[in-house]
Amino acid sequence: MWDNLELLNPGFLWLLILIPILAGWYFYTNKKDTASLTIPSVKGFKTKGIKLSTFKPILAVLRLLALAFFIVALARPRNVEVSKKTKSNRGIDIVMAIDVSASMLAKDLKPNRLEALKDVATDFVNRRPNDRIGIVVYAGESFTQTPITSDKEIIKRTISEIKWGQLDGGTAIGMGLGSAVNRLKESEAKSKVIILLSDGENNAGFIDPKTATELAKELEIKVYTIGIGTNGTALFPYSRDPRTGQLQFRNLPVKIDEELLKYIANETTGKYFRATDNTKLKEIYDEIDKLEKTKVEEFKYYNYQEKYRFLVFIGLALLALEFLLRNTLFKSFI
């Protein structure tokens, strides 16, 4: 009954200070007005237990309680039920173009670049409840892993299943970007974004990255580019063990075409980032998440249930009881 209670006029509660003051005044004046007779002994009087007059102060108690209820009623207690409705007035369609070439198995990020990216990308998806997201993967060629969808469970499952070896070797940045642009060209969203991640140089594919950039620019698609890999050298896979089939690693120079990634970002009013470790990669996706926010309108509907009437009723009932007792049981003592 009193869940989500609020007071519309809480200042009236200060009047409750009057209750102990009036109680003290009543008992003080009542004591002065009561006559007393002093006698040396009561042995000659018959007593019949507790006299009814002993309970006379209950009349004052009832009146003070009634006053307290009236004061609380003046404070206007009421229950508030709030219902919310959200409306997204600016949706964002996002395509993540992910490099899945063999170099993404390099161990400069833990446990490797690809697995580190999958963790961060999944967290990014969880924070975009109002946007549609698609996944494009590329290496020597590219394809759409998942079309743009609002079903986040599908997107997260797709990310978890991304692995090396799905595509031919190489790094076709132009094809990865082109496939992502193709996913967004029919989009009616007011904001279209590509997050293009690469850890190498464009050395495969038949689409020039600059041509794909011009297409993105014409379609007003913003591209955030991320170069992933530490500065210097990293443990790269270079062959398989002929006996066990396990990948073998050795330190090789890290080569990322930063000039190209910066060009793509600048031409499309995006931004270029460099992820040299797991922490930096997470910070980059955090920053992109802040830069590309969907504007959401939240409407709140309030339903008020007034409770002061109930308190007034109790106060009136106490006054009625006091009046009844005063004019019946305690009539001869007043």
**Residue 57's pLDDT is what?**
77
- In the predicted structure, residue 49 carries a pLDDT above the cut 60: no
- Alpha carbon dihedral 194, 195, 198, 201, in 10-degree steps, equals 40
CB distance 248 to 241 below 8 Å:
yes
The answer on 250 and 118 residing in a single domain is yes
Stretch 205-215: mean pLDDT? 95
Max avg pLDDT among 20-29, 57-66, 207-216: 207-216
What single letter denotes the amino acid at residue 87? K
Q: pTM (2 decimals)?
A: 0.63
The answer on 103 and 233 residing in a single domain is yes
- In the predicted structure, residue 76 carries a pLDDT above the cut 60: yes
Higher per-residue confidence, 25 vs 104: 104
**Residue 246's pLDDT is what?**
87
The answer on 326 and 204 residing in a single domain is no
Task: Give 36's pLDDT tier (boundaries 50, 70, 90).
Answer: low
Q: Is residue 183 part of a domain?
A: yes
Q: Is residue 298 part of a domain?
A: no
High-pLDDT (> 90) share of the chain, %: 48
Higher per-residue confidence, 28 vs 90: 28
What single letter denotes the amino acid at residue 135? I
Stretch 72-100: mean pLDDT? 81
The answer on 256 and 219 residing in a single domain is yes
Q: What does the angle CA 289 – CA 292 – CA 297 come to, to the nearest 5 degrees?
A: 105
CB distance 192 to 93 below 8 Å:
yes
Q: Is residue 224 part of a domain?
A: yes
180 Cβ contact partners less than 8 Å away, ≥ 6 residues apart: 95, 97, 134, 136, 194, 196
- In the predicted structure, residue 332 carries a pLDDT above the cut 80: no
33 Cβ contact partners less than 8 Å away, ≥ 6 residues apart: none
| Lookup: tokens for 202 | 């464009």
Rounded Cα distance between 215 and 50, Å, is: 101
Q: Is residue 191 part of a domain?
A: yes
Separation in Å, CA 202 to CA 52, 102, 169, 227, 233: 103, 14, 12, 12, 19
The answer on 108 and 231 residing in a single domain is yes
How many independent structural domains does the chain possess? 2
Instruction: Give the tens place of pLDDT for each residue, 157-190.
Output: 999 999 987 777 889 999 999 999 999 998 888 8
**Residue 35's pLDDT is what?**
52
Q: Is residue 20 part of a domain?
A: yes
Q: Is residue 45 part of a domain?
A: no
The answer on 107 and 73 residing in a single domain is no
- Residue 246 main-chain phi, psi, to 5 deg: -75, 145
The answer on 101 and 77 residing in a single domain is no
What one-character-per-residue DSSP string does 76-143 give?
-EEEEEEEEEEEEEE-EEEEEEEE-SGGGG-TTSSS-HHHHHHHHHHHHHHT-TTSEEEEEEESSSEE
The answer on 176 and 151 residing in a single domain is yes
Rounded Cα distance between 99 and 28, Å, is: 89
Instruction: Give the tens place of pLDDT for each residue, 226-239.
Output: 999 998 999 999 88
What single letter denotes the amino acid at residue 232? G
Instruction: Give the tens place of pLDDT for each residue, 138-162.
Output: 999 999 999 999 999 999 999 999 9
Average pLDDT score, the chain: 86
Instruction: Give the tens place of pLDDT for each residue, 274-301.
Output: 999 999 999 999 999 988 876 655 567 7
CATH number of the domain encompassing residue 288: 3.40.50.410
**Residue 123's pLDDT is what?**
95
The answer on 212 and 69 residing in a single domain is no
What single letter denotes the amino acid at residue 301? Y
Rounded Cα distance between 222 and 157, Å, is: 25
CB distance 170 to 148 below 8 Å:
no
Q: Is residue 33 part of a domain?
A: no
Task: Give 88's pLDDT tier (boundaries 50, 70, 90).
Answer: low
Q: Which helix (H) or strand (E) holds 47?
A: none
Conformation bin of residue 155: beta by default, left when phi > 0, alpha when psi is -120 to 50 = alpha
Give the number of other Cβ atoms within 10 Å of residue 1's Cβ: 7
- In the predicted structure, residue 33 carries a pLDDT above the cut 70: no
The answer on 204 and 320 residing in a single domain is no
Residue range of the domain that includes 68: 5-27+54-82+303-333
The answer on 218 and 313 residing in a single domain is no
Q: Is residue 10 part of a domain?
A: yes
3-state secondary structure of 135: strand
**Residue 199's pLDDT is what?**
92
Can you state the angle between helices 173-184 and 258-267, rounded to 10 degrees?
A: 20
Q: How do beta strands 295-306 and 77-90 pair?
A: antiparallel
| Lookup: tokens for 217 | 């620019």
**Residue 271's pLDDT is what?**
96
- In the predicted structure, residue 85 carries a pLDDT above the cut 80: no
Task: Give 3's pLDDT tier (boundaries 50, 70, 90).
Answer: low
**Residue 326's pLDDT is what?**
81
| Lookup: tokens for 86 | 């959200």
- In the predicted structure, residue 98 carries a pLDDT above the cut 90: yes
The answer on 230 and 199 residing in a single domain is yes
Task: Give 256's pLDDT tier (boundaries 50, 70, 90).
Answer: very high
3-state secondary structure of 224: strand
Rounded Cα distance between 260 and 239, Å, is: 28
